[in-house]
Amino acid sequence: MNYKLWFWITNIFSSLVRLLIIGKIGLTIDEAHYFTYTKSSSLSYFDHPPMIAYLIKASNFFFTNTEFAVRFPAVLIFFLSSWILYICAKKLYDEKTAFISVLLLNFLPVFSFLGAVIAIPDSPLALFWLLSLLTFIKIVETSSIKFWYLFGLFTGLAMLSKYNAVFLPISAILFLILSKKHRFWFTRIEPYFAISISFIIFLPVILWNIQNNWASFGFQFNHGFGSSIAKFSFDLLAKAIGAQAGYISPLLFITFVVSIYLCLKDTLKKKNTASSLIFCFSIPILFLFNFVATFNEILPHWPIMGYLVLSIYVAHLTLKFWTIKWFRIYSYLSWGLAFLMIIIVPLHIFYRIVPIKNFLPKDQIENVKHGIPETERIDITNEVYGWKEVGNEIKKILNSYPQSNKPFIFTYKSYLASQLQYCVPELRVFCISDSPNAYDFWQKDLKKFQNKDGLFICNDFFFANPQDRYGTQAFSSYQGIKTLPIYRNGVKIKNFFFTICHSFNPSKLPKEYSKSYIIKQNTIYKELIRYDHTLFKFINDSLKCKALYTFLAPISYFDSKDINISFLIILVICLVILWQNKKDTFWTNFALLASVLAVGSVIEYSMKTYFERPRPLAVFGDENVNIIYEQVHRNSFPSGHTGLAFSISTFMFIQVRKYWYLYIFFGVFSGFYRIYAGSHFPSDVFVGAIIGIISAYIIVELSKEYIKI
């Protein structure tokens, strides 16, 4: 077979099928929420990093605000992800394994439907996860340094997609630890540059969190690990594993579990490179989230990137054991069940083919609430129906008011607010809730609605009497409840409730709504300065002790006499190392080192003169800073001492790598000493170090090109 041709046929055909259906299904709750991101441009968001918002916004620009536009990025990304998966599997094994890997991906419900049709942050995460894996495979194959920069780029983009991408550098480090042949990369500068590149790309998310009191990091940490003391629960673990089995398909899930064991065996015993790469880029995320599941409830798609990479090994095992009759029969059954699952979901959405009442206990079948039978309440596919009718009803109510006095729209659940927002994208929907959510960062202007009416909306799932609901206490009176029934194929599936609330008074909102860590937004610059000062106080004051003072006093004494004795000691040690290890090129290296130090000094002196940042003594006062001998008040940014130390350390790291630990100590010690002695802020030290590293690296690399010429 021409497996490459069949891959393209499969990939194009499956993408065309998805394009045909994505515009015919209403948005899910999550998709509506991510659509709402696009209504408020930001560096990041409370729930997730911004990549999914960027993609949906770009798609809306070309296709306008439709279900097709929201989901088009998911289809395109799945097409690209399948291509990258094919390339990865081909490099690790062969074209046949690559084709089976992509075919398997199209059979797994979690990837074929949830990630390829429904727009979620995991879609771009999967693409950049696979691109990171591909570039790392190239690093292993070629030992070329350029692929480290691509690895940093794709890792950074993955982190802009979802926080789970933090496992990518962990996976790379784990492989280098396990592979003796490739362990030398720990002594090279390129992996650290890759991490720096990913950090710079991820910087908008960090800056947003700084500006908003680390709200997103805090929310996701509590969401993932829980806020209470960990306590082992077998029920939680069983529930998590069962849910993952449902997402993967139960019989195929067993194959995946077996493949984890066999992949580990190939990695540790046979030292197989392909299995090692698959193991390192899949097991860490699978292990951690399933470990967390022993004490906190997790969502089944959180560890899904592990299954994505592991699918390559499952395809390899399928071909390896295909000649065994029982395995072949089991594979037909497991793949057939998976295919049936991915067909049933869209068919049930359109034609309601699943008899849900057959799966309910008899005593629940007859349960009816608000006129809705239990069979309809638990059918999650009903979620995508009724939103156009709701949008029309909202417009009808608002049109009954004069243009100058229309009520504002609000509810008390963030995800419901997002679906309402999609119903009326030209208007604005508010969420007044007693728990933190993304709307708290988008609606800081409620005072402008003083004395105005509000249109309160809820449904069966999020039902509430207006007078009992959080936030409605701020209104003086209520005007009945209007019910809008929603039908699907002639069967009532849910109700929406509309209530006019009169005369809004935001000062009557409960105190919980004014939590300072949500409402109070800080400027990025002020927050960075605050953290900078806090860290300085910790190092300069909290860590002070007699032993450190005694050790650092002589160095500070010479600094007070304008003699950088610490640098001179480092320079002498490094020159001795150069003489012993590079005797034949000592004077060339000496001249090059002199150039490195000169360029770094000029850059740092120019920046000191330009910024003229006051030193800690000038900021806090002489009596509030622990100094040893040196007393300086001006030109703090950046730290020249630290810059020189990192310049020479980086130069030596490149030229004589075997003493790398010594060079790291020189740089870190110089930076710590300048803060401890009260001469510099941590940001001065950090920027000085960056200047020293980059200037040294660039000059050495340029010199290599000059020598070649």
pLDDT at 512: 59
Residue 519 clears pLDDT 60, i.e. is over it = no
Residues 631 and 574 in one domain: yes
Residue 74 clears pLDDT 90, i.e. is over it = yes
Residue 254 clears pLDDT 70, i.e. is over it = yes
> How many angstroms separate the CA atoms of 112 and 129, rounded?
17
Residue with tokens 């990549």: 51
Domain final residue pick, 89, 120, 151:
120
Structure tokens at 40: 């408020």
Instruction: For the chain, give the percent of residues with pLDDT over 70.
Output: 95
Domain final residue pick, 519, 540, 573:
519
> How many angstroms separate the CA atoms of 162 and 52, rounded?
9
Residues 658 and 702 in one domain: yes
Minimum mean pLDDT among 59-68, 406-415, 469-478: which range? 469-478
Residue 71 clears pLDDT 80, i.e. is over it = yes
Structurally, the chain folds into a number of domains equal to 5
Indicate whether 36 belongs to any domain.
Answer: yes
Residues 95 and 144 in one domain: no
> How many angstroms separate the CA atoms of 443 and 471, rounded?
14
Going by the DSSP 8-state scheme, the letter that residue 411 receives in this structure is: E
Residues 444 and 579 in one domain: no
**Averaged confidence pLDDT in the chain:** 89
Residues 540 and 513 in one domain: no
pLDDT at 330: 96
Indicate whether 675 belongs to any domain.
Answer: yes
Residues 76 and 182 in one domain: no
Residues 203 and 237 in one domain: no
pLDDT category at 701 given cuts 50, 70, 90 is: confident
Indicate whether 130 belongs to any domain.
Answer: no
Q: What is the pLDDT of residues 647-676, one digit of tens each?
A: 999 999 888 888 888 999 999 999 999 999
Mean pLDDT of 210-219: 85
Mean pLDDT of 14-30: 92
Residues 107 and 193 in one domain: no
Indicate whether 126 belongs to any domain.
Answer: no
pLDDT at 469: 61
- Count CB atoms within 10 A of the CB of residue 664: 13
pLDDT at 517: 41
Structure tokens at 239: 């529930």
Mean pLDDT of 331-350: 92
Report pTM: 0.85
Q: Name the burial class of residue 700, with classes exposed (0-12), middle (13-18) and buried (19+) by CB atoms within 10 angstroms of its CB.
A: buried
Structure tokens at 244: 């993952």
Q: Read off the amino acid at residue 390.
A: V
Indicate whether 28 belongs to any domain.
Answer: yes
Indicate whether 463 belongs to any domain.
Answer: yes
pLDDT category at 511 given cuts 50, 70, 90 is: low
Q: What is the pLDDT of residues 270-285, one digit of tens each?
A: 889 999 999 999 999 9
Residues 180 and 64 in one domain: no
Backbone angles phi, psi at 485, to 5 degrees: -75, 145
Task: List the CATH number of the domain containing 604.
Answer: 1.20.144
DSSP-assigned states of every residue in 414-465: HHHHHHHHHHSTTS-EEE--SS--GGGGT---GGGGTT--EEEEEESTT---
Residue 371 clears pLDDT 80, i.e. is over it = no
Residue 351 clears pLDDT 70, i.e. is over it = yes
Q: What is the pLDDT of residues 287-325, one digit of tens each?
A: 999 999 998 888 889 999 999 999 999 999 999 999 999
Q: What is the largest CA-CA distance in the chain?
A: 93
Domain that holds residue 99: 1-120
- Residue 475 in 3-state DSSP? strand
> How many angstroms separate the CA atoms of 570 and 567, rounded?
5
pLDDT at 516: 43
Q: What is the pLDDT of residues 525-553, one digit of tens each?
A: 787 888 889 899 999 888 888 888 888 88
More confident residue, 214 or 97: 97
Instruction: Name which of 124, 74, 82 is nearest 101 in CA terms.
Output: 82
pLDDT at 228: 64
> How many angstroms separate the CA atoms of 657 and 637, rounded?
30
Mean pLDDT of 252-263: 95
Residues 112 and 149 in one domain: no
Structure tokens at 417: 């607010």
DSSP-assigned states of every residue in 147-208: HHHHHHHHHHHHHHH-GGGGHHHHHHHHHHHH-GGGGGGGGSSHHHHHHHHHHHHHHHHHHH
Q: What is the pLDDT of residues 583-629, one digit of tens each?
A: 888 988 899 999 999 998 999 889 988 888 899 998 888 888 888 88
Mean pLDDT of 205-234: 82
pLDDT category at 564 given cuts 50, 70, 90 is: confident
Indicate whether 361 belongs to any domain.
Answer: no
**Exposure b/e, 46-55, CB count within 10 A at least 16 = b:** bbbbbbbbbb
Give the length of the chain. Answer: 709
Bridge-based pairing of strands 454-459 and 408-411 is: parallel
Structure tokens at 186: 């720990």
Indicate whether 487 belongs to any domain.
Answer: yes
> How many angstroms separate the CA atoms of 93 and 432, rounded?
54
Residues 264 and 199 in one domain: no
Asked if the bond preceding 638 is cis, omega within 30° of 0, the reply is: yes
pLDDT category at 513 given cuts 50, 70, 90 is: low
pLDDT at 339: 93
Q: Read off the amino acid at residue 459.
A: N
Residues 528 and 548 in one domain: yes
> How many angstroms separate the CA atoms of 214 and 374, rounded?
41
Mean pLDDT of 383-388: 90
User: What angle, rounded to 10 degrees, do the helices at 273-280 and 67-92 form?
Assistant: 150
